[in-house]
Each structure stands twice: as C-alpha cells, then as structure tokens.
Amino acid sequence: MCGIFAVIGAQNAAAELYVGLVHLQHRGQDAAGVITFDFNDPDNGIKISKNIGLVSDVFSEAKLLTVNGQMVQPLP
C-alpha cells in the first residue's frame, strides 16, 4: 500500500515532503522515494531518489539537501 503527498512551489520542496512521508510511512514501511522537478534545470529537471528502508533511513538531512526542486512527489 502507498500514500500520496505532494509539494509544489516551495524553494526546497524535498525538505517539506520529508515530513509528509514520515506521516505516511505506516502505509508501507519497506521503501521510500521521491521524484522532484526543478524548473531551473536546463536538462529535463526530473530527479529520482529512492532506496529500501524507512524514510529516516533513506533520507538523511544531508541527502535532502541534494534533492533539489520546487515540485516533489513520493514514489508509489
């Protein structure tokens, strides 16, 4: 089972999404991931970050700083 939580228009949307992911974690605790879109990226702007484990294991504060974008959505 999965949950959906999205953030749009935030400067560092991944940091805000982290809080939402923690609250949805009870719906599926085997993995966590996000897709981000950076409007300022000259390439396609889409980045994927995911791994097996709890949200707190997959996304440390240092990792969240590298997940850039103004729009984010968790992976199902």
Residue 20 lies in domain: 7-74
2 domain-assigned: no
Confidence band, pLDDT 50/70/90 cuts, at residue 7: confident
52 domain-assigned: yes
1 domain-assigned: no
Query: From CA 26, how far away is CA 54, in angstroms rounded?
Result: 10
Answering whether pTM is above 0.85, one says no
pLDDT number for residue 75: 64
Q: Which of 1, 2, 6, 53 is catalytic?
A: 2
Q: What is the 3-state secondary structure (H, E, C) of 9-74?
A: CCCCHHHHHHHHHHHHHHHCCCEEEEEEECCCCCCCCEEEEEEECCHHHHCCHHHHHHCCCCEEEE
The predicted-structure confidence for 8-66, as pLDDT tens digits, reads as follows 777 767 777 788 888 877 776 778 888 888 888 888 888 888 889 888 888 887 887 77
pLDDT number for residue 74: 62
2 catalytic residue (yes or no): yes
